[in-house]
Amino acid sequence: MRCVAPDTTIPLPLPRQPVTPKAKKDPNATPMMAQYRAIKREHPDALLFYRMGDFYEMFWDDAKDAARLLGITLTSRNKGDSAIPMAGVPVKAADTYLVKLIRAGQRVAICEQVQDPREAKGLVERRVVRVVTAGTLTEEEVLEGGEPNFLAAVSFAKDRVGLAWLELSTGSFLVSECRPERVEDELLRIDPAEILLPEGEVPESWANREGRLVPGLDAAIHYLPAFDWNPNEAAKDLCEFFRVRSLEGFGLELEGMPAAIGSAGALIRYVKETQRTNVSHIRRLEVFQRGNRMALDRATRQSLELVRTQREGDRAGSLLATLDRTLTPMGARLLRERILVPYIDRGTIERTQQGVAEIVEHSGLRARLREELSRIQDLERLSSRLTTGRANARDVISLCTSLEHIPELIAGLTETQSVVLTELGRNTDPLADLAQRIRARLVQDPPTALKEGGLIRTGFDPELDELRSIGKEGKQWMARFEAGEAERTGIANLRVGYNRVFGYFIEVPRSTAESMVPTSYVRKQTVKNAERYVTPELKEFETKVLKSEELSREMEYNHFVALREELAAEVHRILDTANAIAELDVITGLAEKAVEAAWCRPTLSDDRTLVIRDGRHPVLESTLRSLEPFVPNDTELSPPEHSLTLITGPNMAGKSTYIRQVALIALLAQIGSFVPAREAEIGIVDRVFTRVGAADDISRGSSTFMVEMMETANILNNATERSLVILDEVGRGTSTYDGLSLAWAICEALHDRIGCRTLFATHYHEITELADNKPGIHNAHVAVREWNDEIVFVHRIQPGSTDKSYGIHVAKLAGIPHDILDRSQVILERLENEATRHDLGTQTRAPRQLDLFRPPKTDHVAEALRELEPDRMTPIEALLKLKELREQLD
């Protein structure tokens, strides 16, 4: 029993306090991940390429998306509950992965280390140096040389749409305004890779459209805040960017083109925000002059297959692919532009045409110029790489090699006679000083890496040469040191080596007796069969060599950067020369094609004559050459005496080919090209319109017939007397009565109201009656030979009409089963017989088709008969009345 003193108190036991466990440290809450998250918050809509050594790493959702889109391995940082999805791509192969992501509709923010790790106290500073988007790609390796890569901006006013489009890799920057109904055609012509739009200010017709913004246009869409499009602020930004006081020098006025200025301002802000580097190769803002260029709508570009085929969307098989004999990427892009927007100014066209003719006539000059052009690379895109600081040493050597061929080009033009060629020879800057500057500084075959040395020529910088000599002498020193140590120690197989981790070392085989290793050797590393050591002498040598190598690499890099900046300061000269070379390339390419295909020089006139002798389709002629000869045909349109030709004949006989070839010949003539014909006289065409083929537009809820009628309405509302219109089977998408009536009325409108040059191919043989009443309408047909129930297409266009379509014969050629063909023939014969009996007045069960286009002579006779009252007429009165009605019928 415990004894307790009376004055002693026993404290009550205290309640047990809960023990708070130490918080688990989040293994991912590191400074590096905090840095990553902060940078990612600034670019939530882009995949973040976060530079870590030789890789760009991605984490969380970015890693999952990249792994799925690129087919790369998805790993994780850490394990268990704290695992973070992670994926990466090598820096050296980044361009390949970038292209895949951009084509998948992604944007990529490139986050680089912007601090030397040796100077960093803790975490290396990183920063996004560029945001890569579909419209801002500049890498020559991933862009099509002959295709532009436009970034476009579109703003909407009450009755105008402002357009701005920039080719960042070349610096070409244009603006225009158009009517709202023209904007889709303009965008399809520009064919941008990316479109910028103002938030909340897009028309409902676009805002509610799912999928592609413009049907037929595969472009990424990005929205910018509405205040970025304010014309007043945009004008200030543009003046600051171009370092001018006013935009009037570019032909722009705030009062005249506010929507275009707003779009240009928003676009240039976007470029500055995404590129975060110098873009001074964007030298000017050009107003797209529609006045001397031909506007071609979407239907015309597609049906004539100017730059891509209608079905597959390929370049092969298009007019561009057939015509293109350019040798430089700049020339290829210029040719493409001219095909899409030909000239309508006779003087401008003939200027090019004269140059083409002179080079056609002088084969030696043509061969000499083309030989030099073939050695010139993409000066425009090389220039953009210079100004953005992305050009490596091989890019600069490519520039130099190209520049060295320019003086020979200029020399070849000294004795030319045509205005365009003499001006090109006189005004082109040879840029010899830039080529000399590059040659004096860079080696012939530099590496792609800029910080590993091997860039600068020996003799350019004596100090650099001295540093390099230390490295060269080091090899000799090492050989002497190794031999001396082997002799001094008696270790015959001693060797001196180097690796990047441990530096220089003396390696002694492990089998060597311990007593043979000098005490001055300090052990540094143990490997499988040897021990590695260092000595004070070797350490001193290492410091000297490594320091010299580091200094020489740094000096080489600085020399290269200085050269790149010097060249960037001269980029305006390079771009002016690039433009001249592109022009010369187009002219020599057109001449090469003219000689190759035996094309003729067309005569241009200001009247509305269009005469072609032995014209051929430029594309089909080249594709069919190995199979069968192309059948040439004549064309003659000379309003008002002959403004419209109605062409009848069976399918597959060549009606569509014929009318297309006429349109293509006119377009070729108006870019200054020779044309596939024996001779041609082309009265300048202000626009070419086509309505060819059948297609629906599901994205806009339009049936085949609706598309046909919309395209035809566009022609009727916009064609002028100077236009060329080709129509194929208009009205076939609805019932016979409706279609025939529409086709008839459309022909009348084109002839009577517009008076334009028109080729109208049709199966409605009834329409050929128009030629009897309209002096400017003439009939033509495609000749067909019949033999033993077979038909032979001779593809020859002849005067006069035909009343047979040979549809069943064509179906037989297409492979329709014989039982169906036989049944069709029976039905056709019955219908034709019934039609004949109708004409004879014989009643049949089938109703007779009304003759819609002749006066209804029997209507008033029938009405007069109904009004007769025979019971009140004498026999003689009845006979006289019957004679009168008979005479009316006759």
Q: Higher pLDDT residue, 403 or 819?
A: 403
How do 757-761 and 644-648 pair as beta strands? Answer: parallel
> In whole angstroms, how far apart are CA 528 and each of 499, 507, 523?
16, 12, 15
CA–CA distance, 489 with 117 (Å, rounded to integer): 40
Would you say residue 819 has pLDDT above 60?
A: yes
pLDDT at site 192: 92
Residues 6+ apart with CB under 8 A from 55: 88, 89, 90, 91
Q: What is the DSSP string of 104-130?
A: TT--EEEEEE-S-TTT-SSSPPEEEEE
Greatest alpha-carbon span in the chain? 166
pLDDT at site 206: 62
Find the mean pLDDT for residues 342-368.
95
CA–CA distance, 601 with 598 (Å, rounded to integer): 10
How do the domains of the chain map onto residue ranges?
A: 31-132, 150-288, 345-431+570-597, 462-563, 603-803, 817-853, 857-889
> In whole angstroms, how far apart are CA 93 and each of 56, 98, 214, 313?
10, 9, 33, 29
Binning pLDDT at 50, 70 and 90, where does residue 498 land?
A: confident
pLDDT at site 18: 47
Secondary structure string (H, E, C) spanning 162-190: EEEEEECCCCEEEEEEECHHHHHHHHHHH
Look at residues 742, 776, 789 and name the one whose alpha carbon lies nearest to residue 762: 742
701: left (phi over 0), alpha (psi -120 to 50) or beta: left
pLDDT for 754-787, tens place per residue? Answer: 999 999 988 787 888 898 888 999 999 887 776 6
What is the pLDDT of the chain when averaged over all its residues? Answer: 83
Query: Dihedrals φ, ψ of 804, to 5°?
Result: -125, 145
pLDDT at site 846: 38
- Domain with residues 31-132, CATH architecture: 3-Layer(aba) Sandwich (3.40)
Cβ–Cβ < 8 Å for 263, 155: yes
Q: What percent of the chain has pLDDT over 70?
A: 85
SS3 of residue 799 by DSSP = strand
Rg (CA), the chain: 40
* Overall fold of domain 345-431+570-597: MutS, DNA mismatch repair protein; Chain A, domain 3 (1.10.1420)
Residues 6+ apart with CB under 8 A from 801: 646, 648, 765, 768, 771, 779, 780, 781
- Quick one: tokens of 849? 């088709």
CA–CA distance, 651 with 791 (Å, rounded to integer): 12
CA–CA distance, 676 with 402 (Å, rounded to integer): 34
Cβ–Cβ < 8 Å for 429, 576: yes
Cβ–Cβ < 8 Å for 726, 690: yes
Would you say residue 723 has pLDDT above 90?
A: yes
Residues 6+ apart with CB under 8 A from 254: 231, 232, 235, 247, 261
pLDDT at site 667: 97
- Quick one: tokens of 770? 């128009």
Would you say residue 817 has pLDDT above 90?
A: no
pLDDT at site 637: 94
Look at residues 169, 160, 178 and name the one whose alpha carbon lies nearest to residue 287: 178
**Residues paired with residue 779 on neighbouring β-strands, in sequence order:** 646
DSSP assignment, residue 656?
H
Number of continuous H segments (helices) and E segments (strands) in the chain: 29, 26
Cβ–Cβ < 8 Å for 619, 655: no
Cβ–Cβ < 8 Å for 110, 131: yes
CA angle 724, 730, 733 (to 5 degrees): 155
Cβ–Cβ < 8 Å for 615, 662: yes
SS3 of residue 865 by DSSP = helix
Q: What is the DSSP string of 701-729?
A: TB-HHHHHHHHHHHHHHH--TT-EEEEES
Cβ–Cβ < 8 Å for 315, 339: no
Binning pLDDT at 50, 70 and 90, where does residue 581 land?
A: very high
Residues 6+ apart with CB under 8 A from 293: 341, 342, 343, 344
The pTM score is 0.80
Look at residues 618, 645, 647, 616 and name the one whose alpha carbon lies nearest to residue 633: 616
- Quick one: tokens of 869? 């009252």
41-55, 138-152, 392-406, 568-582: segment of lowest average pLDDT: 138-152
pLDDT for 80-135, tens place per residue? Answer: 667 888 998 998 888 888 888 988 889 999 998 887 777 777 788 899 999 999 89
pLDDT at site 844: 37
Look at residues 700, 724, 605, 751 and name the one whose alpha carbon lies nearest to residue 295: 724
Would you say residue 487 has pLDDT above 60?
A: yes
pLDDT for 662-718, tens place per residue? Answer: 999 999 999 999 999 999 999 999 999 998 865 544 344 456 777 778 788 888 888
Query: Dihedrals φ, ψ of 47, to 5°?
Result: -70, 135
pLDDT at site 497: 85
Contacts 24+ apart (CB under 8 A), 121-129: 122/31, 123/31, 123/32, 123/35, 126/35, 126/39, 126/50, 126/51, 127/39, 128/39, 128/42, 128/43, 128/48, 128/276, 129/276, 129/277
pLDDT at site 251: 82
Respond yes or no on whether the N-terminal peptide bond of residue 640 is cis (omega within 30° of 0): yes
Find the mean pLDDT for residues 550-555.
87
Find the mean pLDDT for residues 61-81.
85
- Quick one: tokens of 369? 């110029």
- Quick one: tokens of 707? 């598309």
276: left (phi over 0), alpha (psi -120 to 50) or beta: left
Q: Higher pLDDT residue, 551 or 140?
A: 551
Task: Residue 672: count other Cβ atoms within 10 Å of its Cβ.
Answer: 25
**Residues paired with residue 84 on neighbouring β-strands, in sequence order:** 77
CATH superfamily of this structure's domain 150-288: MutS, connector domain (3.30.420.110)
In CATH terms, 603-803 corresponds, of 3.60.20.10, 3.40.50.300, 3.40.50.720, 3.20.20.450, to 3.40.50.300
CA angle 133, 135, 137 (to 5 degrees): 70
CA–CA distance, 606 with 604 (Å, rounded to integer): 7
72-76, 609-613, 659-663, 728-732: segment of lowest average pLDDT: 728-732
Binning pLDDT at 50, 70 and 90, where does residue 642 land?
A: very high
Top-level class of domain 462-563? mainly alpha
CA–CA distance, 84 with 744 (Å, rounded to integer): 71
DSSP assignment, residue 18?
P
Find the mean pLDDT for residues 380-401.
93
pLDDT for 234-260, tens place per residue? Answer: 999 999 999 988 888 888 887 788 999
**Residues paired with residue 561 on neighbouring β-strands, in sequence order:** none
pLDDT at site 95: 84
Q: Fold match between 31-132 and 462-563?
A: no
pLDDT at site 790: 65
Q: Higher pLDDT residue, 414 or 857?
A: 414
Q: Give me the torsion for CA of 32, 36, 39, 41, rounded to 10°.
A: -130
Q: Give, rounded to a whole angstrom, the gap between the first and last alpha carbons of the chain.
A: 152
CA–CA distance, 60 with 863 (Å, rounded to integer): 87
> In whole angstroms, how far apart are CA 468 and each of 549, 560, 881?
7, 17, 123
DSSP assignment, residue 214?
S
Look at residues 83, 67, 85 and name the one whose alpha carbon lies nearest to residue 75: 85
